[in-house]
Structure 1
Amino acid sequence: MQDVGALALLPVVTILVVAVLTRRTLFAMLCGTLVGAVLLGGWGFFDSWIGYFGASMADETLQWLMLVVVLFGILITLFERSGAVREFAAWAERFVNSRRKSTVLSFLLAIVLFVDDYLNVLTVGTSMKAVTDRYTVPRTELGTIMKLTAAPIAVIVPFSTWALFFAGLLEAQGVTSNGSGFGAYLESIPYIFFGWIALAIAALVAFGVFPKLGVLKKDIARAEATGDVFPVGTTADERAAEGALPLDAEVGEFAVSGDGAERAVAAAPADAPAAGPATGATAVATRAPELAKPRPWNFLVPITVMIAVTILTEVDVLKGTVAALLVAIVMYTAQRRLKVKAVFEAAFDGVGSMLFVIVLTALAFMVQHMNIDLKLADFVIASTEPVMIGALLPAMVFLVCGVYAYATGSFWDLAAVITPIVIPLALAMDVNPIIAGAAVFSGAALGSTTCLYGDGIILASRSIGIKPLNLMSAILPYAGIAAALSLIGYLVVGFLGL
């Protein structure tokens, strides 16, 4: 390990600057890892880079995440090829007859999927973009609503992957209530300010009563004027990957409708796989005819099985995803929606669709390992220690954790590293350790909600078919407001001595 002081910030700064200048997240991540390799390995930076790549691939957390991502990629492809998503969208549209109802339904679905933030963003994005597209809701707005909900709801509902992990951290530090860390976590929930405030903002955005800010304001105005729900700069290939055609294109017999309300159906065999729905001022060639009575159960049953198995297996998302995949395969082959050969083709294509996410996530884990060896956490903590007085401790912990999580893409790892430092510090300063722990958890949720190369943003952007930078840029103003209000909240409880 090397202590390079402020230079430990250089890889993170490089990633952010290159991403903004080039709008290419993968290239920015590669540049950041190269800078980190130079700092750690000097002239032997190439060997250093290879070593950290190997270390990240050997990380059990990354291996688990890759399995989840790959399996979910296969499941999403099966949903699309079988027409399950298209039917769910058609069914949901019976209850959604306005723009506001489409965004509110997206928010409510994100609340229901509180079990895990990965499960949340992948499911909401996959299922709801077809519905919101119909009402020209920008993809960035859908992404903002679901990301402002995913980690915050997971961190304040005690029966989620986040809550169980954080409860374990509290118990490991001897912080318990009624003899358990879970009891202490229950007491901390009212003080996880970022979670509550972000959820409130997400609800207000979904209901259309929160002011439109920054990039999202421009995207909404553009979507309303042109019907295009994709961010500026989206290429034809990226649109095609989402099943969308160029603006003003024609499909089959039908000209594209300017209001995005019509769908075009191309002549094709009835058992051909279905493409996505119409998108804004674009249209989509659906290879299968529209069903007079859509059957949403082909989508809802696998998702329900996923949630149920995840909960029943002590919140194991991997087992839940496997169960949903098996149920989907049985249902679609039994109904003759897909032949066995088509299932295997969908599996290969599903894995391929997630390659970008896998590579980006592997590079993100490299950055995390490099930050540990560069002692970035030690530098950040040492820089804030001079102002770490008791009344300021909760606010400073939240600020440090939020900035560190945003800069590094490390959330659970951050909590695992910071909690053993913060809890003894809080006890020494006569600060309520439960509130100090809540500040750590709030900071982790803030990072997950905003970090450009965090797994939450990467998976969410994949599910709605836009770039991570577009999604992060839209979210930042709203998450920034939630963070500022949370900071004020921790200052208040700190000075009140709660």
Structure 2
Amino acid sequence: MAIKPNNTPNTTLNRQGSPQKWLIFFSVIMAFFAYLSTQHVDGEPYGFLSFLPAMLILCVAVITKKALESIFAGIIAGLLLLDPSNLVSGLGDLSISVVMDETIAWIVLVCGMMGGLINMLERGGSVLSFGELLAKRIKTKRGTMLTTCTLGVMVFIDDYLNSLAVSASMKSLTDRYKISREKLAFLVDSTAAPVCILVPVSTWAVYFAALLEENGAAAEGKGMSLYIDAIPYMVYGWAALLVVFLVAFGILGDFGEMKKAEQRAQAGQPIPDGIQQDGFDTSALKKTPPLIGLLNFLLPMAVLIAASVYYDIDLLLGALVASMFTMVLYFWQRLLSFAQLVDAMLDGFKVMLHPIAVVCAGFMVKEINDQLGLTPYIIDSLTPFLSKEMLPALVFASMAMVVFATGSSWGVFVVSLPIVIPMAISMDMSMPLTVGALLSASAFGSHACFFSDSTVLSSQGSGCTPMQHALSQIPYALIGAVIAFICLVTLGFMLA
């Protein structure tokens, strides 16, 4: 389907004002943050001021609909608040510390390799074969949405794999039934992190089980047992699954930005204005028999999952093995030459550069929020309202807020666990319920934040911007959050 010419920048500029006005506006905002830094006394906590960079990010994002630019505004504001005289060197030091972080290096490599793998699957024709096979068996819009959700649940080993693989395999089918790319991103994202926390054989389970042991929530070697005990109490994961299947069945309707996106799709334009093709070149696509094409899709996916499990749920090593396997498989069948396979890997990595930049910028925001003491401030602010019964619900609410503001669903808990776990132990609260509340908060933040890794990758894979995806998804995420909060209040009183 032809994509309409992108006139968005000009219309946006005319609607929002001249560059000079924006320059003056942001200069005033940044001067305000620099002034606030002079009012802070060294050695004292920043208190409410620690909230302001995150609030600026959200405000700029809503106004501009741009994720990376909004995060950068928050980074500059945070650095000015910390030390306006050290802005340039502070930005350089922050960039280096984030780039050198082991987690960031892992994310960059995983995202790049997953982009390369999916690009090879696209160019080899296997994704097309998989889509055509589904198209022969799925004849309705509802069936397409339910199949997308089901595939998302089946690909439970990692939210990155889910976000990229499921969206790539379902795009042609959802376009056929006039399902907007925003809804595809919602269906995919809702079965990414929310599902991964519910399965003990996932990257999330391995990571958090180790954290629980390090912070005294579980004895050495018992972290996974505690994680499994907490699965029934990971209520946001269950609530998000309930909501997404209600949407897929057509019981829960479209509203807000999702309604606008679906109306546009029903008019024959599932792809939003201004969105270019995802960069996966299929011009040299070779036709293969349907069964062979299906095997060429399923075998690399099976190898990816098996290798990841073999290497202790490490998606990086799994993607490396699957990429080598796919290159050998396609070269042996003469689907692509070795040079074409290498180009496919490199081009796939290029396609992922923007999502990688957004995720890295999100980690820079997390580092600034740590220096400002955002997490301790929120927890300390809620402490006067804490009781044994309300602890799980308030832990969920506070940590969901922090993860939403920082986009770091994993990094935040390195800071929060040493605070929350002793609090739960002192109140003699059920540890599985407390862990369930923490993981629920993590899943909500990953699901709802417009610059979280899961949101960015789901939008990239589906073919819309992170802001288009986030704004259309947030009402459904909030419904899940309300359900989770009510459930945690009820469980808190039942198990206290």
TM-score (norm 1): 0.87
State the partner residue of 2:489: 491
Matched with 2:38 is none
Task: Tell me how large the CA RMSD over aligned residues is.
Answer: 1.9
Q: Distance in 2 between matches of 1:131 and 1:327?
A: 27
Shift in alpha-carbon separation, 1:413–1:178, aligned structure 2, 3 A: closer
Cα distance, 1:79 vs structure 2:
1.7
C-alpha deviation, 1:136, in angstroms: 0.8
Aligned to 2:372: 374
Matched letter for residue 329 of structure 1: M
Equivalent residue of 1:296, what SS? Answer: helix
Contact 2:125 2:286 in 1 (8 A): no
Tell me the CA shift for residue 421 of structure 1. Answer: 1.4
Of 236, 239, 248, 1:197 maps to 239
Unaligned runs of 5+ in 1: 244-272, 276-286
Distance in 2 (CA, whole Å) between partners of 1:194 and 1:69 is 26
Question: Alignment partner of 2:276: what SS?
Answer: helix
* Structure 1 residues 165-176: aligned runs within 5 Å: 165-176=207-218
| Structure 1 partner of 2:17 | none
- Out of 202, 220, 229, the position equivalent to 2:270 is 229
Residue 222 (structure 1) shift: 2.2
Q: For residue 274 of structure 1, what is the aligned residue in structure 2? A: 282
The reply to whether residue 132 of structure 1 matches residue 196 of structure 2 is: no
Instruction: Report 1:14-33 matches (<5 A).
Output: 14-33=56-75
| Alignment CA distance shift 1:175-1:228 (3 Å) | same
Q: What CA deviation, in whole Å up to 9, does each residue of 1:234-261 have, x standing for no partner?
A: 21xx334468xxxxxxxxxxxxxxxxxx
Give the counterpart letter for 1:223 in structure 2.
Answer: A
Residue of structure 1 equivalent to 2:46 = 4
Larger deviation: 37-46 or 176-185? 176-185
Assess, with a 3 A threshold, how the Cα gap between structure 1 residues 411 and 483 changes in structure 2: closer, same or farther: same
Q: Equivalents in 2 of 1:200, 1:178: separation in Å?
A: 34
Rounded to whole Å, the distance in 1 between the matches of 2:452 and 2:495 is: 34
On the 8 A contact 1:37/1:46 being kept in 2, the answer is no
Distance 2:350 2:220 in 1: 49
Is the contact between residue 437 and residue 488 of structure 2 (CA under 8 Å) also seen in structure 1? yes
Question: Which deviates more from structure 2 when the two are superposed, residues 213-222 or residues 29-38?
Answer: 213-222
Equivalence for 1:38: 80
CA distance in 2 between counterparts of 1:353 and 1:242 reads 6
The residue number in structure 1 matching 2:4 is none
- Does the 8 Å contact 1:398/1:443 carry over to 2? yes
Aligned pairs for 1:322-341 (under 5 A) are 322-341=320-339
The yes-or-no answer on 1:427 pairing with 2:425 is yes
Q: Deviations over 1:81-112 (max 9, x none)?
A: 22221121112212211111111111111111
Equivalent residue, structure 1, for 2:314: 316
The amino acid that maps onto 1:326 is M
In 1, distance between residues paired with 2:92 and 2:486? 43
CA shift in 2, pair 1:371/1:179, >3 Å: closer
1:98-135 superposed Cα distances (whole Å, 9 cap, x missing partner):
11111111111111111111111111111111111111
2:306–2:318 CA contact under 8 A, matched in 1: yes
8 Å CA contact retained: 1:422, 1:437: no
Q: Is residue 115–residue 161 contact of structure 1 (8 Å, CA) maintained in 2?
A: yes
Question: Are the structure 2 counterparts of residues 300 and 434 from structure 1 closer, same or farther at C-alpha, using a change threshold of 3 Å?
Answer: same
Once the two structures are TM-superposed, the CA of residue 177 in structure 1 deviates from its matched residue by 8.6
Contiguous gaps of at least 5 residues in structure 2 = 1-42
Aligned to 1:297: 295
Give, in angstroms, the shift of residue 288 of structure 1.
Answer: 4.6
TM-score (normalised: structure 2): 0.88
User: In the alignment, is the contact (CA less than 8 A) between 1:2 and 1:375 conserved in 2?
Assistant: no
Check if 1:115 corresponds to 2:157. yes
1:208 and 2:250 correspond: yes
The 5-angstrom pairing of residues 177-196 of structure 1 reads 180-196=222-238
Given that residues 124 and 286 in structure 2 are in contact (C-alpha distance below 8 angstroms), is that contact kept between their aligned partners in structure 1? no
Letter in 2 for 1:239: Q
| Residue 56 (1) aligns with residue 56 (2) | no
Q: Distance in 1 between matches of 2:114 and 2:199?
A: 23
Cα–Cα, structure 1 residues 320 and 289, in superposed 2: closer, same or farther, change >3 Å?
closer
The structure richer in helix per residue is: 2
Q: Offset of 1:397 from its aligned partner?
A: 0.2
The match for 2:13 is: none
Amino acid at match of 2:141: R
| Structure 2 partner of 1:414 | 412
Per the alignment, do residues 179 and 461 of structure 1 end up closer, same or farther by CA in structure 2, a change over 3 Å counting? closer
The 1:83/1:410 distance shift into structure 2, 3 A limit, reads same
SS in 2 for 1:239: coil
Q: How far off its partner does 1:71 sit?
A: 0.7
* Structure 1 CA distance for aligned equivalents of residues 173 and 408 of structure 2: 33
Aligned-partner SS, 1:332: helix
Distance 1:367 1:289 in 2: 44
Instruction: Give per-residue Cα distances to partners, 1:281-332, cap 9 Å, x unaligned.
Output: xxxxxx6576664621111111111011111211010011011111111111
Instruction: Note if 1:163 corresponds to 2:205.
Output: yes
Counterpart for residue 283 of structure 1: none
**Which stretch shifts more, 35-44 or 61-70?**
35-44
Q: 1:293 to 1:188 in 2, by over 3 A?
A: closer
Corresponding residue for 1:448? 446
| 3-state SS of 1:156 partner | coil
Counterparts of 1:66-105 in structure 2, within 5 Å, are 66-105=108-147
Contact 2:206 2:224 in 1 (8 A): yes
- Kept after mapping to 1: 8 A contact 2:65/2:467: yes
Structure 2 CA distance for partners of 1:319 and 1:179, relative to 1, 3 Å? closer
Mapped contact 1:129–1:464 kept (Cα < 8 A): yes
The question of 1:307 aligning with 2:305 is answered: yes
With over 3 angstroms needed to count, the CA separation of the structure-2 counterparts of 1:292 and 1:435, relative to structure 1, is closer
SS class of match (1:453): coil
Percent identity over the alignment is 34
Q: Aligned pair in 2 of structure 1 residues 5, 409: CA closer, same or farther (>3 Å)? A: same
In 1, Cα distance between the equivalents of 2:44 and 2:142? 52
Show the counterpart of 1:346. Answer: 344
Distance 2:218 2:451 in 1: 34
| Matched residue type, 1:407 | A
Q: Letter of the aligned partner of 2:494 in structure 1? A: L
CA contact (8 A) 2:363 2:406 kept: no
Cα offset, 1:430, TM superposition: 2.4
Q: Distance in 2 between matches of 1:107 and 1:374?
A: 39
